[in-house]
Amino acid sequence: MTGRERSVARIEDVTQRYGETVALDAVTIELPVGCMVGFIGPDGVGKSTLLSIIAGARQVQSGNVIVLNGEMKDQAHRSAICPRIAYMPQGLGKNLYPDLSVRENIEFFARLFGQSKSERNWRISELLQSTGLAPFSDRPAKKLSGGMRQKLGLCCSLIHDPDLLILDEPTTGVDPLSRRQFWELIDRMRSRRPGMSVVVATAYMEEAERFDWLAAMNAGKVLATGSPAELKASTGSATVEDAFIGLLPEQQRRGHHRLQIPPRRILDTEPVISARQLTCRFGDFTAVDRVNFTIEQGEIFGFVGSNGSGKTTTMKMLTGLLPPSEGEALLFGQPLDASDMRSRYRVGYMSQSFSLYTELTVEQNLDLHARLFHLSAQKAKARISDLIERFDLEEYLSQGTLDLPLGIRQRLSLAVAIIHEPELLILDEPTSGVDPLARDRFWELLIELSRDQEVTIFVSTHFMNEAERCDRISLMDSGRVLATDTPANLIKARGVATLEDAFISYLEEATGLRASGTKDPAPSGETPNPVRSPTPKQSLFSLQRLFAYTIRETLELLRDPIRLGFALFGTALLMLVFGFGISTDVNNLSFAVLDRDQSHESRAYLEELRGSTYFVEKAPLATYADLDKRLKSGDLKAAIEIPPGFGRDIKRGRPAWVSAWVDGAMPFRAETIRGYLQGMHQLYLTDPAVKTTMPAAAPPADIEVRFKYNQDFDSIYAMVPSSMSMLLALFPAILMALAIVREKELGSITNLYVTPVTRIEFLIGKQLPYIAVAMVNFSLMFFMALFVFEVPFKGSFPTLLLGVLIYVTTTTAYGMLISAFTRTQIAALFGTAILTVLPATQFAGLMTPVSSLSGMAQIMGRAFPMTYFVPISIGTFTKGLGFTDLSTNLAELAVFIPVLTLLSLLLLRKQER
Amino acid sequence: MRKIANIFWLGIKELRSFMHDYVLLGLVIYAFSLAVISQAQSNSQELHNASIGIVDEDHSELSHRIEHAFLPPYFQLPHQIAERDIVPLMNSGRYTFVVDIPPNFQRDVLGGRQPAIQIDVDATAMVQAGLGSGYAQQIITTEITDFLSHSEGAPLSPVNLDVRIAFNPNITTAWFTSVMGIINNVTMLAIILAGAAIIREREHGTMDHLLVMPLTPFEIAMSKVWANGLVITIAVGLSLYIVVRTFLGIPIAGSIPLFIVGVMIYLFFATAIGIFLGTVARSMPQLGLLYMLVYMPMNMLSGSNTPLESMPAWLATVMQASPSTHFVSFAQSILYRGAGIDVVWPQFAFVALIGGLFFGLAILRFRSVAAQTV
């Protein structure tokens, strides 16, 4: 970085819209270089959008964004500076890979930035040392605590020594001790690299006090900028939180006043909840460990702790959703009974995700819950209108809940939870992500419920200022209650100034008691400032980056037993089913006879039929009605009627007639039966053994039908190679589509947006492991064909192998293409299934050659790779063909690879919209 | 009474949710219109447009007559090919049939020397090969007989066979594939809709919410059965009346209302298994993978694609336990053969029984679902 730069990023008049929502509204702001810049404001005001634009992860819709002296709309500039930027998106470790270990995660990022092995190892060990993650380098990321995951995210971001570090809400949901350690770590990193600029977004206003420069945001606009001191001075407030409230537009602030909590009237009743030694285990993991507490009537009782500390699990046990592994819980003085319907009328519950039906409107949500609690029509009406008024929901009544601002949604959720006037209210993190004003309003409602109506409220939170509003709180960490008392007493007991300090002091005591290894080692003797590697050259294509994705994808697949099991054995299982089950050999056909002649001649005729291996005779028919009924029920596939006088006609030399009825429900079977019957009839006529008629004259010509390739005309020789083709179309495509969409859904796609990896490296890197899986599938099925189905292999194996390789490349590419249109894994799965199953089973030559199809079916068949692979599979297996015979098919199949890859490439975006 | 009210109102909620899920809505519409039409028009069940080559080494009147007797829609117009090309062209799959007329064929026929005419059949194209070889023999025999009758007249056989195809006299593919397409889609969608409805509630956290309200798992599951079942029943009805009868012009012999009753019974089973899978899978992708393993065999082996008789006996016995097999069977009885309730009631009962079994299993699993952390 040169000294000439004054600002690290300049944003001019940027507006971003998503549908009708305006995320950023003509924002203009300049971020000073070399300092810690903080964006403050509640969820959904545009902080994340702004940060992702600065990081280059999101496309700029209108306006100019200049980062590190260049226009971010310029693709060349973006790829030039991306090695200088590090971006940690919102959500705990969202760009990390949960199944990979700490070390593997960092290695993946190091490879993306083109670091050599020695440089990589040296950097990783240095980062692990300084963050204190070294003892856990082999632990999978998903098993890390929130605080440790954040540190890992930081390691991954710092692996390439960025000049600009962008952190989007890095500490949300993390316990106060880890939070404090995280900021100390950032400070240390900055002191070692003084030129580094850090841009942070946060919802914790207390944290913002320590930043150098702040930008307060609301509703897509920047309200004010300046140092924390300046902001506080300009609004005359004592804290940043108050300053933020002071900066909000007048209209929004109206009616807001400092929250007053009237003292609680102590009632002399039995406790509403008492938990005794409550424990919950999932396998060998103890989520809640011997928890004890009691909650009195009318009390506001708080559970305070980080994500994953056991708050939700405890609440689930108290609502009867989860059976406790040990211990007991008393509700209203009675042991908790999950099947007791009466107690459910006395409890209201609001789960973490607000538990509303997002597809319903506000009114429909209220109405549904009133009905489910069986409020009488009159009472429901009164209750709903009362709640609408008290919760200010009037203007949103007919809106879908999905479009509501978070604060409104939360209020509605509370209204829904109390519609039946419960005595006890259990609220799981009811205020996360909501702005301070809405939070205060929400608390006003809670206080009113508690103080005026003596409703007992059990609430969980990770905000310290909310914890302070509770009558009593339990501090939770790793499934254990560290302490329970009033907030004031807790502060007093530890002899500290704030509740946060008290919590930290309890945490330190607890972590000290636990294995000492989990404690952060103070970064001992800073390594001398390392030589910075030269900024890696930006190449257009790098095998190292491609393999970074291949290695990662392979590791992930190997560690996901469900996906792996499905990938390896799903095909084998279905192969077994299809190989045995799908057959076009028509036999075991049931038939019955209505012999109304009962003569020697009629029996001679029927003898021919009875001797056939295709037919199985059922009990004879007595009447036409019988014939009709049994054909209708499907009991018979064919019925033969020999009329009276059959024998007499033959004897007299008059042409005799036999009638046959064939069940036409299944056209193919009917055609085949007709063929069999006619064949048998011909045989009868020319059979020298049949003495009842004069043998017919020898036919004028001898028609020889030669079944080539499959003399016995046994469908297994065609169906097994075809089933193999079908399964190799289905499974690789689905797995591939899932693999790409998974990244979109989980958020790790961001790494494609903000690291030097190119789209083609990303796609092919991810495709390789699935091609390998498909080849394993093929070998399994090949051996099944040989040894289970005993279909001999007659042709050239190298040709088949080459064909399979090309084919599975196309089918994975097909999945890749479908993934471009889908956003969620489920859509990818069903999209792929629908777009593959129909053409694969019906239109690609599985049963009927594509050339015989017509209309849309023919077109769908021609556009599907399987159509070109079936001849290769059958050709090598059954027809005994080699490379030259099949070269045309191979070439046609190969054309799909560039076409599908190119289309996927064009549809995949290097930036989020 | 309360139970019924709960089931009703939860089901109404389910319908509203469904109407807002445009992807699923689109899927249902596609599955019962376009997908059915494309299968109906595929002609995949009959001999249609079979590719045929002719090696004419005779160049006589008779050989020309034979060549011109192969006509659409059964066969494509035959191509003249050379004898040495037979093997490569058949290897590449260009022709499914090749008729080889030897030199002096007509002379030998007239001379009563019984010459041999050869039909090579690619026996890996199973459906076409099986049907087509019979057709080809008939066509050639008829042509030769006609040719000869000019000169001497064909004698009538002492015994004649009259084969009549019941229920589908012209053996039209569309009659079969359109209805079977609907049936396969019923299975597919019922499992997806019900399973996804459960997973959606779990992912949104509303399942926990329902379970702490005064509702029983039976009520929750039953509401999903009726709501999703209703959607599909309506779709089936519309598809039968509008797509199959009106658009495709396929006459339906039997009673559609009786069939709809059968569909409803089957939907009870299919949605129950969907709900069951929804309680087994922990996420949407897992549901999808499970679904593939359950749906594919149920569909492919039900008799809606290939005849049940041609399976190995053990597999056919196993498939008798699958309601999809009975669904296909009673659908064919009712719709094609015009069977009444007296014929199909045992199958109805069996489907309902298995449905009840899965429904019970799903309800038993409901509680443990809440115990799984997301």
pLDDT at A691: 58
In this structure, is residue A93 part of a structural domain? yes
Instruction: Say whether A848 and B285 touch across the interface (CB within 8 A).
Output: no
Report the alpha-carbon distance of residue B336 to residue B330 in Å, rounded.
10
| Cα B293 to Cα B288: distance, rounded to the nearest angstrom | 9
* Average confidence (pLDDT) over B331-344: 87
Q: How far apart are CA B359 and CA A428, in angstroms?
A: 32
Mutation test of the interface with chain B: which of A362, A826, A872, choosing the one with the most B Cβ atoms within 10 A? Answer: A826
Angle A702-A703-A708 from CA coordinates, rounded to 5°:
135
- d(CA A353, CA A367) in angstroms, rounded, equals 20
More confident residue, A694 or A863: A863
pLDDT at A521: 43
**A382 three-state secondary structure:** helix
**CB contact (8 A) between residue A703 and residue B296:** no
Percentage above 90 pLDDT, chain A: 33
Identity (one letter) of the amino acid at A219? Answer: A
Short-list B160, B151, B96, B103, CA closest to B123: B96
- Residue A146, pLDDT > 90, answer no
Residue A677, domain member (yes or no): yes
Q: Of B285, B288, B309, which has the smallest distance from its Cβ to A586's Cβ? A: B309
CA separation, residue B113 to residues A551, A701, B238 (Å): 73, 8, 61
Which of A359, A425, A852, A885 to probe the B interface (max B CBs under 10 A)? A852
pLDDT of B95 > 60? The answer is yes
For residue B71, what are the domain limits? 52-151
Residue B167 in any domain: the answer is no
Examine the pLDDT at A524 and tell me if it is beyond 70: no
A537 located within any domain: no
**Looking at residue B372, what is its pLDDT?**
56
Cross-chain Cβ contact B119/A671 below 8 Å = no
Q: Are the beta carbons of A121 and A95 closer than 8 angstroms?
A: no
Return all residues near A796 (Cβ < 8 A) that are at least 6 apart: A876, A881, A882, A883
pLDDT interval class at B1 (50, 70, 90): confident
Write A669-673 long-range contacts (CB < 8 A, 24+): A669/A586, A669/A589, A669/A637, A669/B307, A669/B309, A670/B165, A670/B168, A670/B171, A671/B45, A671/B46, A671/B47, A671/B131, A671/B134, A671/B171, A672/A586, A672/B130, A672/B131, A673/A586, A673/A589, A673/A637, A673/A638
Measuring CA to CA, how many Å separate A480 from each of A288, A471, B336?
A: 6, 20, 67
Q: Determine the angle formed by the axes of helices B126-151 and B61-69, rounding to 10 degrees.
A: 140
The length of chain B, given as a count of residues: 374
Residues B219, B133, single domain; the answer is no
CB contact under 8 A, B289 and A282: no
Q: By the 8 A CB rule, do A36 and A42 touch?
A: no
Inter-chain touch B120–A706, beta carbons under 8 Å: yes
SS3 sequence of A796-819: CHHHHHHHHHHHHHHHHHHHHHHH
The pLDDT, as a whole number, for residue A538 is 62
- CA A373, CA A359: separation in Å to the nearest integer? 20
Are A228 and A240 in contact, with CB atoms under 8 Å apart? yes
Are A734 and B196 in contact by the 8 Å Cβ rule? The answer is no
Residue that finishes a domain, picked among B151, B183, B210: B151
User: Same structural domain for residues B67 and B121?
Assistant: yes
Say if B157 falls within a structural domain.
no
pLDDT at residue B150, as a whole number: 67
Mean pLDDT calculated for residue range B306-321: 84
Cα A896 to Cα A813: distance, rounded to the nearest angstrom:
9
Shared-domain flag, residues B203 and B317: yes
Residue B163 in domain: no
CATH of the domain at A421: 3.40.50.300
Q: Are A491 and A498 in contact (CB under 8 A)?
A: yes
Q: State the pLDDT confidence band at B348, using cuts at 50, 70 and 90.
A: very high
Percent of chain B with pLDDT over 90: 36
> A-contacting residues of B 108-167, CB under 8 Å?
108-109, 112, 114-131, 133-134, 136-138, 140-141, 144-145, 148, 155-167
CB contact under 8 A, A668 and B131: yes
SS3 label, residue B166: strand
Instruction: Tell me if A441 is assigned to some domain.
Output: yes
- Do A665 and A738 share a structural domain? no
Question: In chain B, how many domains are there?
Answer: 2
In a domain, B160, yes or no: no
Q: Which of the pair, A258 or B183, is modelled with greater confidence?
A: B183
Residue A300 has pLDDT above 70, yes or no: yes
pLDDT higher than 60, residue A467: yes
Describe the strand order of the beta sheet including A85-88 as a list of residue ranges.
A85-88, A164-168, A197-202, A36-40, A213-218, A221-226
C-alpha to C-alpha distances, B98 to A412, A888, B64, B83, B85, nearest whole angstrom: 75, 21, 15, 10, 10
Interatomic CA distance for residues A832 and B27, integer angstroms: 12
Contact A665 B38 (CB under 8 A): no
**Residue A100 within any structural domain of the chain:** yes
* Distance from C-alpha of B86 to C-alpha of B166, rounded to nearest angstrom: 39
Closest chain A C-alpha to B267 CA, distance in angstroms = 20
Are residues A117 and A15 part of one domain? yes
Phi, psi of B124 (to 5 degrees): -95, -10
- Tens digit of each residue's pLDDT (9 = 90 or more) over A788-819: 999 999 999 999 999 999 999 999 999 999 99
In the structure encoding, which two tokens stand for residue A524, read together? Answer: 């001992």
The answer to whether position B123 is within a domain reads yes
CB contact under 8 A, B370 and A355: no
If asked whether residues B247 and B358 sit together in one domain, one would say yes
The tokens describing A11, both together, are 């944003």
Domain closes at, from A497, A515, A533:
A515
Claim to verify: residue B228 and residue B331 sit in the same structural domain: yes
Q: Examine the domain organization and report whether B31 and B179 are in the same domain.
A: yes
A283 Cβ neighbours under 8 A, 6+ residues apart: none
> CA A857 to CA B38: how far, in whole Å?
6
Distance CA B361, CA B217 (A): 11
Residues A79 and A217 in one domain: yes
Give the CA distances from residue A308 to residues A145, A181, A304, in Å, rounded to whole numbers and listed in that order. Answer: 8, 18, 11
- Cα A39 from Cα A168, distance rounded (Å): 9
A424 belongs to a structural domain? yes
Q: Where does the pLDDT of residue A515 fall: very low under 50, low under 70, confident under 90, or very high at 90 and above?
A: very low
Q: Is the pLDDT of residue A911 over 60?
A: yes
B354 and B218, same domain (yes or no): yes
Pair (B13, B134) in one structural domain: no
**pLDDT, tens only, A358-411:** 778 899 999 999 999 988 989 999 999 999 988 888 888 888 887 777 778 888
Q: Do residues A604 and A724 share a domain? A: no
Q: Is the pLDDT of residue B260 over 90?
A: yes
3-state class percentages of chain A: helix first, strand second, coil last, to nearest 5:
50, 20, 35
Q: Note whether A596 and A573 are same-domain residues.
A: no
Of the candidates B27, B37, B119, which has its C-beta nearest A704's C-beta? Answer: B119
Q: Do A247 and A322 reside in the same domain of the chain?
A: no
A704 assigned to some structural domain: no
- The predicted structure's pLDDT at residue A856: 79
Query: Do residues A755 and A864 both lie within one domain?
Result: yes
pLDDT category of residue A693 using cuts at 50, 70 and 90:
low
Q: Is B101 helix (H, G, I), strand (E, B) or coil?
A: strand
Dihedrals φ, ψ of A216, to 5°? -90, 130
Alpha-carbon span A632 to A664, nearest angstrom? 11
DSSP label at residue B247? I
Residue A526 has pLDDT above 60, yes or no: no
The label of the residue with tokens 């606009």 reads A221
Measure the CA–CA gap between A377 and A329, rounded to whole angstroms: 35
Mutation to test the B interface, candidates A344, A632, A709, most B Cβ within 10 Å = A632
Same structural domain, B71 and B188: no
Token reading at A855: 């209309």
Whole-angstrom Cα distance, residue A429 to residue A442?
A: 12
- A722 & A673 share domain: no
Subunit contact A665:B332, Cβ cutoff 8 A: yes
Structure confidence at residue A697 as a pLDDT band (50, 70, 90) = low
- Report which of A808, A746, A731 is spatially closest to residue A565, judged by C-alpha positions: A731
Looking at residue B59, which CATH number applies to its domain? 3.40.1710.10
Query: Is the confidence at residue A533, as pLDDT, over 70?
Result: no
Tell me how far apart the alpha carbons of residues A691 and A463 are, in angstroms, rounded to a whole number: 102
- B249 plus B343 within the same structural domain: yes
* Confidence at residue B94, expressed as pLDDT on a 0 to 100 scale: 85
Residues A204 and A142 reside in one and the same domain: yes
Q: Which of A640-644, B162-166, B297-301 has the highest mean pLDDT?
A: A640-644
Closest Cβ opposite residue B166 in set A664, A849, A856: A664
Tokens describing residue A138: 């082999």
Average pLDDT along chain A: 86
Assess if residue A267 is contained within a domain: no
Structural domain of residue A476, as residue ranges?
A: 273-515
Q: Which of A350, A351, A346 is nearest to A297 (CA)?
A: A346
Question: Which one of B128, B160, B166 has the shortest CB-CB distance to A663?
Answer: B166
Q: Is the pLDDT of residue B56 over 70?
A: yes
Tens-place pLDDT, residues B206-244: 888 888 888 888 999 999 999 999 999 999 999 999 999
Q: Are residues A549 and A647 located together in one domain of the fold?
A: no
Name the residue among A561, A830, A773 with its Cα closest to residue B282.
A561
Could you tell me if B240 and B135 lie in one domain?
no
B120: CB partners within 8 A, 6+ apart: A706, A708, B86, B90, B97, B98, B99, B100
Cis ω for the linkage preceding A871 (within 30 of 0): no
Question: Residue A838's pLDDT is what?
Answer: 81
In this predicted structure, the answer to whether residue A689 has a pLDDT above a threshold of 70 is no
pLDDT beyond 80 at B151: no
Report CA A471 to chain centroid distance, whole Å. 40
A88 and A163 assigned to the same domain: yes
Cα–Cα nearest to B105, from B152, B151, B150, B63: B63
Which residues of chain A are within 8 Å of residue B176 when distances are taken between CB atoms? 665-668
If you average pLDDT over residues A328-347, what whole number do you get?
Answer: 85
Q: Is the pLDDT of residue A826 over 90?
A: no
> What is the gyration radius of the CA atoms in chain B, in angstroms?
27
Count CA atoms closer than 13 A to B136's CA, side-chain side: 31
CA B169, chain centre distance (Å) = 19
Query: Do A61 and A91 belong to one domain?
Result: yes
pTM: 0.83
DSSP letter string, B131-142 = HHHHHHHHHHHH
Residues B110 and B250 in one domain: no
